[in-house]
């Protein structure tokens, strides 16, 4: 039976049209996956907390920090208002 089989074509080497020679051309990978931190996220609460802390320390964005502080301040004031805290102790009597 081996005599009747067709020979394998060894001369044919297919390359995709726009292949530049980097990596595997058949790998389906998004263009920006290398730059994202959300791809292949760590499992477990400790690893997630460490990843969030690392991202906060290394990727500083002042507008985000300001926004976080404003939101935290508004939530604290809302909480103080709901429990009936007297805010007049912070203002001078005039």
pLDDT tens sequence across 42-86:
788 888 888 878 877 777 777 877 888 999 999 999 998 888 888
Percent of the residues in the chain that have a pLDDT greater than 90, as a whole number? 11
pTM above 0.75, yes or no: no
Mean pLDDT rounded to a whole number for the chain:
78
The DSSP output letter for 91 is S
Place of tokens 């805290």: 85
Is the CA virtual torsion 58, 61, 64, 70 positive or negative? positive
């Amino acid at each position: 039976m081996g005599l009747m089989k067709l020979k394998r074509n060894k001369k044919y080497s297919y390359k995709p049209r726009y292949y530049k020679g980097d990596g595997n051309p058949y790998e389906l990978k998004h263009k920006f996956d290398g730059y994202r931190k959300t791809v292949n996220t760590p499992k477990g609460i400790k690893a997630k907390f460490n990843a969030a802390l690392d991202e906060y320390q290394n990727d500083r964005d002042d507008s985000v920090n300001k926004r976080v502080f404003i939101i935290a301040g508004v939530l604290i004031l809302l909480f103080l208002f709901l429990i009936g805290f007297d805010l007049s102790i912070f203002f001078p009597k005039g």
